[in-house]
Chains A and B, each alone.
Chain A
């Protein structure tokens, strides 16, 4: 199904003057989510960020490749925000990478279209910080589990920004959640400030 990429490659997309960000939020039950919903709200308050609720856009997993590629081209910073599922990204987010980040669009060819953009991720986990360590209950740090995303950035010649991590999401409530949301806001703020077009 590596279909519509070529339509898009031929159509020029004007680069915006100020850096903008596409934040792909992947949570199958965002309606029940507390942490990810709160983070998405914080991000949504920033005018330069376009929130793309992936499970809402493609409930049947039938991703519109052309539309997604065009969306990626519109922005300078690409972020993916998700809860860690089985030490990895939720299934639809993986499908999105599989279908949209195609050869000669995202990587390879003479001029891959995402090169020099920034890629970051914001992941929440169900375990505490101590468990995500060498020798801890989960065996490795979250950074290790996020290597596939890091390598994706590298292969596409993108800049990889340090991930934003929130541990212990099921117990992150009340005042602590508010602080976490503010922290996310500062993270995004810095990220956008550091981005040079």
Chain B
């Protein structure tokens, strides 16, 4: 392919996405459907603008790898353990149930029992890319349904490993030529285990030093390159040993989820995921065998509909058995009803060993692609129906999250942020900490304090830290300009977020309020006041009086800060305002002091003796009240 051709093809793909996705979203169909339709339009069946779809789809499948890597990063090992019931229970139940329905049908079509079982297991798989993208778009990824879907999908991905090993064995059953596949399969199993062990160990021990080294150079694109390299490397290794690259990426992601670089890596890679997944759906659309659809529309659609019906029924039964509410069960069933992308791989594989009749190996991928096209439509339809049936939206249970929901983001965890953060933690608040100092992070790790490496002034990282759901952002970073930047960015992008900010001085405090901070705290104010109070005590003031003086000072100062907010943001406005404030404060404090002094004179009769006469209405008044 010449450079010109590559550019033209790239342009066509991008253009198709740019036109189709917004259109589909406007029609309420979701972006996945938009991509698939765009692919069908530019594909060989219609406009034939796509060039070599097979080559492109290899690139595009990498989108799924990145998707699983990112999902892995959000699933901490502890959470994975928590979800074991969903993964191995519900996941296995789904595959077995689907297999139980499809195997007899396949056998009726004349396939051998072993091939039928394998085929049914592969058809039981759903499209991770489609389901997870749709869930994310609907904001349901962390809800009950999202978690259950994810558990099932994860089990399906795990089951790819044994399936890959089984397929050559099936062939060996069929023909003696492949008899030596037996020891090879055994060897491959050992190889696969070694590779997984290698990924886990490398991610655990080699990756952190590497990223620390790169982060110290402060070069963002190298960081992105390294993150990408990591995912590509894992995928390559997995492919070499014959494992699902997506699964390998998922494992690497889980291992890396505990490092401080999680958010930064996630944020850097995320755009690739979005683009490549889009490309993937386009290739699914482009791969639609329109010729076949035209010549045998009935067979293709019958297989697609039959497959989806079988999967829906099986999944509904499985999730009801796992005590899901009927509405949840039907949502889950429809969600997972489409065929998965693994069928395309399997068909290629099966062709090699001549496992399937020619006719079926043409019909099946077309049917699965159709099911992927129909699936978003069905989900949409189901949403409408459920919404109409259950008038008040269900709030069955609190939203369980992939990662725990964050209450407060603490940006900057140095001398300032630490104290506030520790107070919040001590009171059971979940905080997400961001800092850019590697030495600081290293020290904190020794105290088992999880800190994410990342510059809070970057919008994407702020979002990754949980700014969309957190209630409060505490701005505790060092640099004056950076503080202003962060407050401004956060205010514009997250209107719901309460922003409490550290201020350099009074002028900075006014600036921050103007930029949208909800509360500002001059960074040295309280400690300075405290030391002044200490001095008063050491000069012989009674502790309570010194304390009260400091409190009065703070009270006057606070109210002056509010009332003498400068009209204009420029220098002169500020100077005027602060001069006026300073002189008023001096007057107020002097007046208080004056009153203190006059009390020493004891001139004033503040006792109640003089009042007795006034209170004639009540003769008993002589017994109490006031400072008797």
Contacts and interface: CB of A to CB of B under 8 A. Distances in A.
A157 B618 CA distance: 9
A154 B622 CA distance: 10
Interface stretch (B128-136, B176-184, B398-406, B547-555): B547-555
Interface string A36-66: 0000000000000000000000001010100
Interface string A1-40: 1111010000000000000000000000000000000000
Contacts of B548: 1, 62
A154 B621 contact: yes
Given A62-B551, A152-B625, A108 B599 contact: no
A96 interface: no
Interface in A148-175: 148, 151-152, 154-157
B491 to A, nearest CB: 27
A2 B615 contact: no
B615 A154 contact: yes
A194 B366 CA distance: 85
A108 B610 contact: yes
B592 interface: yes
B608 interface: yes
A103 interface: yes
Interface string B578-607: 000000000000011001100100001110
Given A108-B606, A155-B608, A2 B626 contact: no
Given A62-B551, A148-B624, A107 B608 contact: yes
Interface string A96-137: 000001010001100000000000000000000000000000
Contacts of B552: 1, 3, 62
How extensive is the interface on chain B, given as a class?
A: 20 to 34
B390 to A, nearest CB: 31
B201 to A, nearest CB: 49
Nearest to A7: B591
B621 A155 contact: yes
Contact of A157 (B554, B604, B610, B615): B615
**Taking chain B's interface residues, is the majority helix, strand, or loop, or is none over half, making it mixed?**
helix
Contacts of A60: 551
Contacts of B545: 1
Residue among B605, B623, B625, B627 facing the most chain A CB atoms (10 A cut-off):
B625
B532 to A, nearest CB: 15
Nearest to B624: A151
Where chain A touches its partner, the secondary structure class is loop
Contacts of A107: 608, 611, 625-626
A96 to B, nearest CB: 14
B608 A2 contact: no
A151 B595 CA distance: 28
Contacts of B618: 154
Contacts of A148: 624
Nearest to B618: A154
Contacts of A154: 615, 618, 620-621, 625
A157 B606 CA distance: 16
A89 to B, nearest CB: 15
A3 B595 contact: yes
Contact of A3 (B592, B605, B610, B621): B592
Contacts of A64: 555
Contacts of B596: 3
Contacts of B611: 107-108, 155
Contacts of A2: 595, 599
A157 B624 CA distance: 13
Instruction: Give the size range of A's interface with the partner.
Output: 20 to 34
Nearest to A155: B625
B28 to A, nearest CB: 43
A130 to B, nearest CB: 28
A129 B625 CA distance: 28
Interface in B211-239: none
A101 B624 CA distance: 14
Interface string B532-563: 00000000000001001001101100000000
Nearest to A58: B551
Contacts of A147: 624
A154 B619 CA distance: 10
Contacts of A156: 625
Contacts of B621: 151, 154-155
Given A3-B592, A64-B555, A108 B626 contact: yes
A155 B615 contact: yes
B606 A103 contact: yes
Nearest to B625: A155
A69 to B, nearest CB: 14
A118 to B, nearest CB: 15
A116 to B, nearest CB: 11
Nearest to B611: A108
A62 B555 CA distance: 9
Nearest to A147: B624
A116 B614 CA distance: 14
Given A62-B548, A157-B615, A151 B592 contact: no
Contacts of B617: 157
Given A3-B552, A62-B551, A157-B615, A151 B604 contact: no
A148 B610 CA distance: 19
Nearest to A62: B551
Contacts of A4: 592
A154 B548 CA distance: 30
A160 B543 CA distance: 37
Nearest to B598: A2
Contacts of A155: 608, 611, 615, 621, 624-626
A157 B608 CA distance: 13
A76 to B, nearest CB: 19
Interface in B451-491: none
A151 B555 contact: no
10 contacts: A3-B596, A60-B551, A64-B555, A103-B626, A103-B627, A107-B611, A151-B623, A151-B624, A154-B625, A155-B615
Interface of B: 545, 548, 551-552, 554-555, 591-592, 595-596, 599, 604-606, 608, 610-611, 614-615, 617-618, 620-621, 623-627
Given A107-B611, A108-B611, 7 more contacts: A62-B552, A64-B555, A101-B626, A107-B608, A151-B624, A154-B618, A155-B608
CB-based closest 10 A-B pairs: A155-B625, A62-B551, A103-B606, A151-B624, A151-B625, A3-B592, A154-B618, A154-B621, A3-B595, A107-B626
